[in-house]
């Protein structure tokens, strides 16, 4: 740690203090072949460190990592043929050459046969519209195009496992949807096992059935997205549009959150009442034009889990 005050540079050089931080603290999990798992946590939680250890970039100081029967940092050459990796902030493609040339270079590096390369390129052209920009140098691509090209590069050798670290970061809504559809299709059709880290909860909702949450280097949740909804998403919101503006009113087992013109928002506990009971009570008093039930925001539920984790840490 750098010292302060006069002669700080010399003092720091001659007398160094070190702070040891445990980036990943005794986490353990097992992923079945063909699963698509979301791996989330706040900045500094240990997600990227975990991914780098799983890909063999970093060597763990203790413990054991095994992926598809191999130890990533020990059997690098054999292991890299079985995995594909996409880091949202970095590219594995050559910056100054057209996309297709980068993919051909990767073909030679991984010793992909002509038939397999042709088959994969046809798939990528169909699902990623790669033909639109495959002759364009990587530096001239938009971020969304580059991410599509990076996905193609990560899968050109038909790996069994795909590690995705923030693959949709910074891209527009249309590009995100295209990337999500591609990931879903690769997982479903080719049974590629996918471990996805992201800060976008929509990625998790649209792609994953299982979610692992890490905080301060420790696993605080490992289970289905539906289980999170069951435990942390008890409350729903009923939005009711009336024929005319009406005063706010209360309903059994519900709270009127706000009123806007002829529209009211009611918050209710799904264990205390049902939407149909609440609708029946309201419609018996005022004519309804339209209504909708809003599901709880998964981001709010994950935030509640983080809050519980921090509270337990303070108690300990």
Tens of pLDDT, residues 233-271 = 788 899 999 998 888 888 899 999 988 888 999 999 888
Using the predicted structure, report yes or no on whether residue 309 has a pLDDT greater than 90: no
pLDDT at residue 21, as a whole number: 74
pLDDT at residue 1, as a whole number: 53
**How many Cβ atoms are within 10 Å of 26's Cβ, its own excluded?**
10
User: What pairing do the DSSP bridges indicate for beta strands 263-269 and 235-242?
Assistant: antiparallel
Using the predicted structure, report yes or no on whether residue 60 has a pLDDT greater than 60: yes
Q: Whole-prediction pTM value?
A: 0.78
CA 54 to chain centre: 16
Using the predicted structure, report yes or no on whether residue 183 has a pLDDT greater than 90: yes
- Within the chain, all domains assigned CATH 3.30.70 are found at 234-295
The CATH H-level (homologous superfamily) assignment of domain 26-229 is P-loop containing nucleotide triphosphate hydrolases (3.40.50.300)
Three-class DSSP labels, 166-215: CCCCCCCHHHHHHHHHHHHHHHHHHCCEEEEECCCHHHHHHHCCEEEEEE
More confident residue, 4 or 102: 102
Sign, CA torsion 76/80/81/82? positive
If DSSP codes are grouped into helix, strand and coil, which group holds residue 229?
helix
**How many Cβ atoms are within 10 Å of 248's Cβ, its own excluded?**
11
More confident residue, 21 or 150: 150
CATH number of 234-295: 3.30.70
> Sorting pLDDT into bands at 50, 70 and 90, what band is 12?
low
Average pLDDT score over residue span 123-142: 93
Sign, CA torsion 194/94/103/150? positive
Q: What proportion of the chain, given as a percentage, has pLDDT over 70?
A: 91
pLDDT at residue 270, as a whole number: 85
**Which DSSP category does 138 fall into?**
G
More confident residue, 4 or 281: 281
pLDDT at residue 308, as a whole number: 59
Average pLDDT score over residue span 162-188: 90
Structure tokens at 102: 């980068």
Average pLDDT score over residue span 81-99: 91
Using the predicted structure, report yes or no on whether residue 150 has a pLDDT greater than 60: yes
Please state, rounded to an integer, the average pLDDT across all residues of the chain: 87
pLDDT at residue 194, as a whole number: 97
If DSSP codes are grouped into helix, strand and coil, which group holds residue 270?
coil
**Cβ contact 236:294 at 8 Å:** yes
> Sorting pLDDT into bands at 50, 70 and 90, what band is 311?
very low
Average pLDDT score over residue span 170-182: 89
Average pLDDT score over residue span 40-65: 89
Average pLDDT score over residue span 274-283: 92
> Sorting pLDDT into bands at 50, 70 and 90, what band is 6?
low
pLDDT at residue 101, as a whole number: 97
- List residues bridging with 254 in a β-sheet: 251, 268
User: How many whole angstroms separate alpha carbon 180 and alpha carbon 201?
Assistant: 12
More confident residue, 234 or 118: 118
User: How many whole angstroms separate alpha carbon 72 and alpha carbon 53?
Assistant: 8
Average pLDDT score over residue span 205-220: 90
| CB within 8 Å of 160: residues ≥ 6 apart | 33, 68, 82, 83, 192, 193
> Sorting pLDDT into bands at 50, 70 and 90, what band is 312?
very low
- Within the chain, all domains assigned CATH 3.40.50.300 are found at 26-229
């Amino acid at each position: 740690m750098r010292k302060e005050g006069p002669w700080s540079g010399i003092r720091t050089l001659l007398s160094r203090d070190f702070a040891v931080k445990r980036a990943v603290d005794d986490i353990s999990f097992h992923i079945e072949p063909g699963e698509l798992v979301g791996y989330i946590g706040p900045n500094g939680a240990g997600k990227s460190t975990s991914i780098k250890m799983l890909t063999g970039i970093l060597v763990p100081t203790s413990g054991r990592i095994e992926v598809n029967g191999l130890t990533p940092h020990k059997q690098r050459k054999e292991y890299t043929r079985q995995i594909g990796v996409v880091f949202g902030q970095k590219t594995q493609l050559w910056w100054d050459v057209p996309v297709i040339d980068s993919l051909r270079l990767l073909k030679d590096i991984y010793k992909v046969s002509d038939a397999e390369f042709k088959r994969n390129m046809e798939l990528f052209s169909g699902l990623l519209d790669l033909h639109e920009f495959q002759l364009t140098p990587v530096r001239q691509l938009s971020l969304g195009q580059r991410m599509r090209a990076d996905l193609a590069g990560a899968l050109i050798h038909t790996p069994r496992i795909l590690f995705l670290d923030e693959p949709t970061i910074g891209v527009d809504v249309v590009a995100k949807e295209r990337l999500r559809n591609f990931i879903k299709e690769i997982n479903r059709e080719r049974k590629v096992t996918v471990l996805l880290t992201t800060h976008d909860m929509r990625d998790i909702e649209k792609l994953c059935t299982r979610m692992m949450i890490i905080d301060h280097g420790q696993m605080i949740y490992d289970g289905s997205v539906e289980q999170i909804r069951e435990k942390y998403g008890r409350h729903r919101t009923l939005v009711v549009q009336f024929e005319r503006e009406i005063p706010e009113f209360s309903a059994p087992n519900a709270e009127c959150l706000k009123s806007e013109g002829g529209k009211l928002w009611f918050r209710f506990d799904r264990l205390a009442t049902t939407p149909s009971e609440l609708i029946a009570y309201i419609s018996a008093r005022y004519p309804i034009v339209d209504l909708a039930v809003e599901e709880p925001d998964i981001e709010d539920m994950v935030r509640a889990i983080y809050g519980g984790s921090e509270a337990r840490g303070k108690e300990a």
